[in-house]
């Protein structure tokens, strides 16, 4: 991996710059999973634009002070997609970019699912699908009790919407009127066993969340401007939680990975990595 200087940590508003960050995150994902020989590139690639906007435009956080009391809280509920978050963390200054290539290696802080005791900046150890939204609700309630203005963001997978705990949590968030909570669903319509509609159809997803009392925003999850507007709209909603349903493409940016279920949990070999990096304009 070419070692670049970490992208600056102040909030970035230029859309073209955020697009370039998302591209770099995708490059990192390919290199990391190739070096590890395992991992989950598909859903990491689909959520790269979402994570780029969160870490470089939306979240109030201090990479050099990860325990800053007034930070916003980010929970990666679909923990298997940690490569994209590790990349965003490294490029925003939490740890050296060179460390990304230790993904899944023995003794590495960058485990195959995020571990909050190993890596400062990870708020919760996740990976058991369906649990992240409940964790986020606990964080949001704690922030309210402490009378802080921080917000909580929880990125979920769409296959994860098949979990019953998601809907128990959704009901609780409305009951407690958690307007400091924003859920994001990376709706790429694929999971490890195939298309979500064939495995266990969760649609109509918007109507389900609305029936549970949530404010619902549906956007193109690869449109940087739309993502920024949606997150800012969510901040203005009072008395209820917001969920942003982001329509995305599994394996986004890689011609042979897009909309192919096998890339949910398969790492590219050296030849495939070269082709993928070429697709991303990384020659």
| 245-267 pLDDT tens trace | 999 999 999 999 999 999 999 99
Nearest to 152 by CA among 117, 126, 178: 178
The separation between CA 47 and the C-alpha centre of its own chain, rounded to angstroms, equals 6
Residue 163 tokens read as: 């979990």
> Which residues touch 271 (CB under 8 Å, ≥6 apart)?
none
pTM score of the predicted model = 0.96
* pLDDT score recorded for residue 217: 99
- Start-to-end CA distance of the chain, whole Å, equals 12
* pLDDT score recorded for residue 221: 98
Domains of the chain: 15-279 (3.40.50.970)
- As a whole number of angstroms, the distance between CA 273 and CA 34 comes to 7
pLDDT (mean) for 201-226: 98
Residue 82 in contact with residue 55, Cβ under 8 Å?
no
The separation between CA 82 and the C-alpha centre of its own chain, rounded to angstroms, equals 8
pLDDT bin (cut points 50, 70, 90) of residue 9 is: low
| 37-57 pLDDT tens trace | 999 999 999 999 999 999 999
Q: Mark residue 140 as left, alpha or beta (left: phi above 0; alpha: psi -120 to 50; beta: remaining).
A: alpha
| 109-147 pLDDT tens trace | 999 999 999 999 999 999 999 999 999 999 999 999 999
* pLDDT score recorded for residue 2: 39
Q: Kindly report each contact of residues 114-119 with a partner whose C-beta sits within 8 Å and lies 24 or more positions away, as own/partner.
A: 114/76, 114/79, 114/82, 114/85, 114/86, 119/89, 119/94, 119/95
């Amino acid at each position: 991996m070419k070692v670049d200087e970490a992208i600056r940590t102040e909030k970035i508003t230029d859309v073209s710059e955020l697009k370039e960050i998302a591209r770099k995150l995708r490059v990192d994902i390919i290199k990391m999973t190739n070096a590890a020989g395992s991992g989950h590139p598909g859903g990491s690639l689909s959520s790269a634009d979402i994570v780029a906007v969160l870490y470089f435009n939306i979240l109030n956080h201090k990479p050099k002070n990860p325990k800053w009391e007034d930070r916003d809280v980010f929970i990666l509920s679909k923990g298997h997609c940690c490569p994209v978050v590790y990349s965003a963390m490294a490029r925003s200054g939490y740890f050296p970019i060179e460390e990304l290539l230790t993904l899944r290696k023995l003794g590495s802080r960058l485990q195959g699912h995020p571990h909050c005791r190993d890596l400062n900046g990870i708020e919760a150890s996740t990976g058991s699908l369906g649990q992240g939204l409940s964790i986020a609700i606990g964080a949001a309630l704690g922030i309210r009790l402490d009378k802080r203005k921080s917000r909580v963001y929880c990125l979920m997978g769409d296959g994860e919407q098949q979990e019953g705990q998601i809907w128990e949590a959704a009901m609780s968030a409305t009951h407690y009127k958690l307007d400091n909570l924003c859920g994001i669903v990376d709706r790429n319509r694929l999971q490890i066993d195939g298309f979500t509609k064939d495995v266990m159809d969760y649609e109509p997803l918007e109507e389900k969340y609305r029936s549970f009392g949530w404010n619902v925003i549906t956007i193109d999850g690869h449109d940087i401007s739309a993502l920024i507007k949606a997150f800012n709209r969510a901040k203005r909603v009072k008395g209820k939680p917001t969920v942003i349903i982001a329509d995305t493409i599994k394996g986004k940016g890689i011609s042979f990975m897009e909309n192919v279920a096998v890339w949910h949990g398969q790492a590219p070999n050296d030849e495939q990595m070269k082709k993928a990096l070429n697709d991303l304009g990384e020659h």
